[in-house]
Structure 1
């Protein structure tokens, strides 16, 4: 199976993901906050964009939808629960639905918390998950529309995926998240090592992503929160954290 996933930096700290399947020639763009970087990156590789997948409605994840479709004819798929906020959708999906790139199937998971209708997409054959702004490397999204209980449930669902699953999320937040992770769990050697590696990569201008589900189980203070109350306390503390 030849699936390639390429990060495309966009806006201030977003990642757009290009996923290409050699067998079918399909290329999917995940969460294009703007069109030009995604179109340029695909063109540079000789890839033809056939689909767009959105995890949630925020403009820094859907802002490039219309221009990509105009340029390529790509079909746009996103969360049914947010269809009224993403005007460009051609297809809506919810928990239990599937998407596909070539012959490789992706399972749609409801992970509402950052936004109420947020989805993630897990491709088990490829050991890949696109988590948008729900699960980050050593972090989680802010609770704009959901509750701590919603986030606790969403993270538990994602943490239950196989540990080798590579996690592609929406932002380069790993260093700041890692600094908080080490502050809240100072005895966590795995978190300290992950922070050091993230700082090294950023110092060299490299992406820190993808992470893996196994790494997040070991280092992420929100995944590791023992209950809803602990997650709520940690999320509030992270919102105010200046480290």
Structure 2
């Protein structure tokens, strides 16, 4: 089963006739039940493609389908609802709200969809427990380590049981051991049947957690491996 299908994606930025093309005819399928990584040098278009696939950026050409919804044809308000209910986001910067506890931060996707905070926080608390964060559920972000904050961010991304989890450099700010723990949690908690995980990364320490690695260069897909290793002829950056 396919979670995301991108067909002939082009993307250019600029104005007044001064356009810079950053993606060129990209075609990609992201499969359910798998953890797919997008790798490549800085500036090759990985984060731009991730933004397009998750509906936060509209391409200048091509079509994107997420769980049967052609998001490139949807109105902005429809895409907001789709993202809120069916997509979870994890970033290098944890983006936790400093005045809220770990449980309240993790509950934000549920609150945004109309669930009362108390009820949402209880559900978030249960997710934090599965991530080894139960004893820290009532702590503020400043009381948590970087790895613990990232676990709260993971809980926030999966608390509403999304079909697609997208991650932009989720281990870049973490030491090797914490990065390993985060990837194991991501693989276990987020890559279950009916759910897909898409990770943009420069971190070659975590390639082994991928079911598939797609390599990009200069706005194009240049390699694709299902071995958990870099595609043949592609080198780590």
TM-score interval for Structure 1 and Structure 2 normalised by the shorter chain: 0.3 to 0.5
The structure with higher relative contact order (CA 8 Å, sep 6+) is 2
- Give TM-score, length-normalised by structure 2: 0.37
